[in-house]
Amino acid sequence: MTIANNITQVIGKTPLVRINDLAEGCQATVVVKLESANPLGSVKDRIGVSMVNEAERQGLIKPGVSTIVEPTSGNTGIALALVGTVLGYPVELVIPANVSIERKKIIAAYGAKIIFSSPLEGSDGAIRLCRQILYETPERYFKPDQYFNTANPQAHYETTGPEVWSQTQGRVTHFVAGIGTSGTIMGTGRFLKEKNSQIQIIAVEPDDAFHGLEGLKHMASSIVPGIYHEEQLDRKIPVGTEEAYDAVYRLGREEGLLVGQSAGAALWATLKVARELDEGTVVTLFPDFGDKYLSTNLWVGWKEFDKRQQYA
């Protein structure tokens, strides 16, 4: 029996699961990497510990002296709240006021301080407010800065990419992931390209600036993360909010997977890719589980979806 020294040591090694009913008719194999299997249920667990560990290595942060501050839509904040608790750092998180009540409660349970930004400005509003806080008292804080911190994609280069390669036994032909900070697709994509330059790296984004896909960025209308390099992508697929929501509902009913909006978008784009292929293994990543979104607008529309299914 192996016993971890603390909870941060059991992050990663998440499973791959085949999509069956929803991939009916596809010649390619469609599989998803379930990041909900991380300790706090999201892909951001990987970068939370990576960014803080790297800051300690560089001497940028020290327990008892530094306070971590970060703008976030929720999952990175949850990961940093966990890491702060385990490693001894106070954590303050700047969050859009309209993020789900579930995420607010999880963050509060870890003792992190929440500072709310405008619900109308999304993640960009949280970024701007955090910059103001840092400007006023820079000596107090350490900002991991997930949008510009190279430890973000590096975490995926060192863990997510190797896991996908190993779990598919090198048979992965396409990797599809949503872009928020872009760390997942940048880091995982870089590793997979080094293993096989023919692997296609495909990003997923909302099809419009005004969308309901929490956690994803419409790059043309957003503050572009410093770690995002679009030239390293093979393709980018826009997804509508309604298509993503319908994919979420179908995943629950047909595959037994309860997920959030960004996972629905990732699946919709992945199936689009898979249907274009005669063969291959298309891997996508579901960033988290759906329990953090049960109070959001995502689940307002499921009854209407049911009605459409009944008359289809």
Q: Write the pLDDT tens digit of every residue in 103-114.
A: 899 999 999 999
311 domain-assigned = no
2 domain-assigned = no
Structure confidence at residue 7 (pLDDT)? 92
Are both 25 and 49 inside the same structural domain? no
155 domain-assigned = no
Are both 293 and 174 inside the same structural domain? yes
Burial (CB < 10 A; 0-12, 13-18, 19+), residue 5, is exposed
Are both 28 and 77 inside the same structural domain? no
Q: In this structure, how many other beta carbons lie within 10 angstroms of the beta carbon of residue 232?
A: 14
Are both 59 and 137 inside the same structural domain? yes
Q: Write the pLDDT tens digit of every residue in 62-96.
A: 888 899 999 987 899 999 999 999 999 999 999 99
Task: Answer whether 183's CB lies under 8 Å from 191's CB.
Answer: no
- Statement: residue 145 has pLDDT above 60: yes
56 domain-assigned = yes
CATH of the domain at 75: 3.40.50.1100
pLDDT band at 228 (very low <50, low <70, confident <90, very high): very high
For residue 255, the enclosing domain spans 7-37+160-305
Tokens of 58: 């560089």
Show which of 96, 112, 142 is a domain's final residue.
142
Structure confidence at residue 309 (pLDDT)? 60
Residue 248: HSE in the Cβ half-sphere, 13 Å Cα cutoff: 33
Catalytic residue among 42, 100, 182, 262: 262
Are both 14 and 83 inside the same structural domain? no
Show which of 91, 116, 142 is a domain's final residue.
142
152 domain-assigned = no
Cα dihedral 96, 101, 107, 108 in deg (nearest 10): 110
Task: Answer whether 196's CB lies under 8 Å from 174's CB.
Answer: no
Are both 28 and 50 inside the same structural domain? no
Are both 104 and 184 inside the same structural domain? no
pLDDT band at 312 (very low <50, low <70, confident <90, very high): low
What is the count of structural domains for the chain?
Answer: 2
Q: Is 195 a catalytic residue?
A: no
Q: Is 44 a catalytic residue?
A: yes
Structure confidence at residue 68 (pLDDT)? 96
Are both 166 and 92 inside the same structural domain? no
Tokens of 297: 């607008």
Q: Write the pLDDT tens digit of every residue in 244-269.
A: 999 999 999 999 999 999 999 999 99
Residues 259-268 as b or e (16 or more Cβ within 10 Å = b):
bbbbbbbbbb
171 domain-assigned = yes
Q: Write the pLDDT tens digit of every residue in 189-218.
A: 999 999 999 999 999 999 999 888 888 989
Residues 57-86 as b or e (16 or more Cβ within 10 Å = b):
eeeebeeeebbbbbbbbbbbbbbbbbbbbb
Show which of 142, 174, 208 is a domain's final residue.
142
Structure confidence at residue 74 (pLDDT)? 83
DSSP of 184-223: HHHHHHHHHHHH-TTSEEEEEEESSSS---TT---GGGSP
For residue 18, the one-letter residue type is R
Are both 168 and 270 inside the same structural domain? yes
Are both 135 and 242 inside the same structural domain? no
Are both 51 and 31 inside the same structural domain? no
- Statement: residue 311 has pLDDT above 60: no
Are both 68 and 30 inside the same structural domain? no
pLDDT mean across residues, the chain: 92
Structure confidence at residue 1 (pLDDT)? 58
Catalytic residue among 33, 44, 143, 292: 44
81 domain-assigned = yes
88 domain-assigned = yes
